[in-house]
Amino acid sequence: MPGKINFKKRILSSLPVILWMILIFFLSSKENLPDLNKFILNFDKIAHFIVYFVLGIFLQVFFIINFDLKRKQFYYIFIIAAGFTFALGDEYHQIFVPNREPDLYDLIFDFLGIIFSLFFIKIINNILKNYKII
């Protein structure tokens, strides 16, 4: 672990992940969401991508703060597995919501959001290292 992390820091680093997941679950529990596809083509897919991109970033921050990153392949696997598992569960949950149904394309865009968040953090990390900010 990167030094001794106190309990308060662990809790604070997990709050964005938990709150974001609650927001996703809450929104997918709604029977009717505004249909913004009329104004922006494929808005729902863009929204899925963005929401899971943010979840991926929150998961990475949590993981970076709480775990040793010497084995990066496990870090990537954990982020992808956690994000995809939540997305899969969320799509399954929609079976039980009136006027909603699971959608394979939603799941694909959720997955892409998680994957792109990994690239985004890697690029930001490289930029910060090049300018000796971190």
pLDDT tens digits along 105-117 = 999 999 999 999 9
pLDDT < 50 stretches in the chain: 1-2
The answer to whether 18 touches 10, Cβ cutoff 8 Å, is: no
The structure tokens 């680093």 sit at 13
H helices then E strands: how many in the chain? 4, 0
pTM assigned to the model: 0.86
Residue burial 77-105, b: 16+ Cβ < 10 Å; e: rest: eebbebbbebbeebbeeeeeeeebeeeee
Alpha-carbon gap, residue 90 to 98, rounded angstroms: 14
